[in-house]
Structure 1
Amino acid sequence: MVEKKLTMKLLKEKYGVCRLEKTDPIPEWGRNSDFYSITKTSDELSIVCPQDSIPNDIKCEKDWRVLKVEGPLDFSLIGILASISDILAQKEISIFAISTYDTDYILVKDKEIDKAISALVNEAYEILKD
């Protein structure tokens, strides 16, 4: 019997990945949920949040689902994100990854989520539904 690798949880909502200008203020609509991610660089301001919160005039890519790696994960663990992305790459599933202090979040397009879950389960990952 194959030993379970990790447990992941599929979050309920659909999310959008937004691009704003680097000089734009962080909008309130991007901070109104249990899960959101805001990254500012010298080139842009990116926000990942529930797609229902995103105004129509914002440049974004919608219909992402989130798989949360159940953590917290120890910083000494090696290859978690690489392993997951490799499994999904072999099935030609594109991802958008977000890492936090405690864990990793893998975003997969909604149209590919069932295929992604199946691929991960076949590799001994446990998937919980939120």
Structure 2
Amino acid sequence: MKEKILTLKLLKDKYGVCRLDTTSSVPEWGEKGEFFSVTRTSDEMSIVCSEKNIPENIKCEKNWRILKIEGPLDFSLIGILASISSILAERKISIFAVSTYDTDYILIRDADVNNAVEALSEQKYNIV
């Protein structure tokens, strides 16, 4: 049996990726749940959060699941996202990645989760 190289945790909720105007304040609904991420640029503000908290009138893409790479990961590590995204690309699975100081989170469409878990498991990743 191949030795597992990294552990990824599949978070239980479904998530949405929302787009707000760059001048918007971070809404209260965007900060609820096990995971949320806010990114502001000169062009937009993006919020990734639990889809059950997203109001109807917000522009967003829903039905994402999250694989969290169990960390913390050292900044000197190279190619983690590249390896995972390559494996998933071979299966025609698109991703949306979010990185934090300690680790990376890979968003995968809910319809692709089983295929993604299978592909990553075959390549020595441990999925919990």
Shorter chain as normaliser: what TM range? over 0.9
Name the residue aligned to 1:96. Answer: 96
**Displaced runs of 4+ in structure 1, greater than 3 A?**
none
Name the residue aligned to 1:50. Answer: 50
Encode CA deviations 1:66-122: one digit per residue, 9 max, x unaligned: 000000001111000000000000000000000000000000000000000000000
* CA distance in structure 2 between the partners assigned to 1:24 and 1:82 by the alignment: 33
Name the residue aligned to 1:12. Answer: 12
Q: Which amino acid aligns with 1:43?
A: D
* CA distance in structure 1 between the partners assigned to 2:24 and 2:37 by the alignment: 16
The 5-angstrom pairing of residues 18-97 of structure 1 reads: 18-97=18-97
Name the residue aligned to 1:111. Answer: 111
* CA distance in structure 1 between the partners assigned to 2:32 and 2:97 by the alignment: 20
* CA distance in structure 2 between the partners assigned to 1:34 and 1:13 by the alignment: 8
* CA distance in structure 1 between the partners assigned to 2:2 and 2:114 by the alignment: 22
Structure 1 alignment gaps of length 5 or more: none
* CA distance in structure 2 between the partners assigned to 1:89 and 1:5 by the alignment: 19
1:34 Cα deviation after fit: 2.0
The percent identity for this pair of structures is: 64
Q: Which amino acid aligns with 1:51?
A: E
Q: Which amino acid aligns with 1:115?
A: N
Structure 2 alignment gaps of length 5 or more: none
Matched residues, number: 128
* CA distance in structure 2 between the partners assigned to 1:41 and 1:24 by the alignment: 11
SS at match of 1:74: coil
1:26 Cα deviation after fit: 0.7
TM-score (norm 1): 0.97
